[in-house]
Amino acid sequence: MPEDDVYFRNPHLGDLLRRASSVILDMNGLIVDDEPLQLRAMNDVLAPFRIALTPSDWADRCAGRRSEDFTRMILTQHGLPHSNAEVSDIVLKKNERYRSLISRSITDYARPGVLDLVAYVKNCDRKTLSLATTASPLEVETILGGRGLGIEGEFDYIVTGADITRHKPDPEIYQRVATLSGAPFGRCLVFEDSGPGVTAASRAGMPCIAVPNDSTRGQEFKAAAFIVGDLTREARILDGSCGG
């Protein structure tokens, strides 16, 4: 596909994508709007502890953050003693419940335009497509593999939570995937749905387009180049700072 074939109708978004030599996508919340399912799975596992998180709790404490970190924080805030093994067990059970829930109707959770964007970038000359997610390899397979959206093979490079030691907002995951692709950090374009993810991309020296969902809409996106409502060709800039 010629490089002058622009995906986004908005010229600011189109130019940013055209200049990128590597496009990097987050997964949870960005490719699939799965935050409500993540919350449901967490509450199912926390029920024996008589803890029930609200959507606001999830948005403020959990969305875009590492499962082990917010699980430990929730238990601490409720005065429940816990070991690292107990935290890991809760996270494992939550992930198993989540995979069971999402595998039933995964295509319903794909965000508008994301599959078209993946197809566009994959067919562009001189662009690589990468995935940078703190989710596990098993979760990636569940969401993107053959029984999921069927696009795992479209990504040239995939970095998961199993490949890193520091999590968003630390930039390690984006630095790692850019190094694998060989792209200069400044020529990577990141798409993220959460504040910690946008911060991680910014700290890596990469421009980032924020695509908030209902759970992350109230988070901090000052470091984003643009904030948009979706990933369709007609995506509109929401912050109004650079034309829309």
- What CATH code is carried by the domain that includes residue 202? 3.40.50.1000
Q: Are residues 87 and 117 in the same domain?
A: no
Taken in order 28, 34, 35, 41, the sign of the CA dihedral is: negative
Average pLDDT in the chain: 92
Residues in contact with 21: Cβ distance below 8 Å, sequence separation at least 6, in sequence order: 126, 127, 128, 183, 184, 187, 188
Q: Are residues 26 and 40 in the same domain?
A: no
Q: Are residues 173 and 185 in the same domain?
A: yes
Sheet holding 208-210, edge to edge: 157-159, 128-132, 22-25, 188-192, 208-210, 226-227
Q: What is the pLDDT of residues 111-159, one digit of tens each?
A: 999 999 999 999 998 999 999 999 999 999 999 999 899 999 999 999 9
Contact predicate 189/209, CB 8 Å: yes
Q: Are residues 27 and 44 in the same domain?
A: no
- Listed residue (5, 16, 6) closest to 242, CA to CA: 16
Q: How confident is the model at residue 105 (pLDDT cuts 50, 70, 90)?
A: confident
In a domain, 19, yes or no: yes
How much is the average pLDDT of 22-46? 95
Q: How confident is the model at residue 239 (pLDDT cuts 50, 70, 90)?
A: low
What pLDDT, on the 0 to 100 scale, is given for residue 5? 73
Q: Are residues 128 and 147 in the same domain?
A: yes
Q: What is the pLDDT of residues 215-229, one digit of tens each?
A: 899 999 999 999 999
What residue has token string 């984003």?
224
Domain that holds residue 150: 11-33+110-227
Contact predicate 113/233, CB 8 Å: yes
pTM here?
Answer: 0.86
In a domain, 243, yes or no: no
> Does 61 have pLDDT greater than 90?
no
What pLDDT, on the 0 to 100 scale, is given for residue 118? 98
Q: Are residues 174 and 219 in the same domain?
A: yes
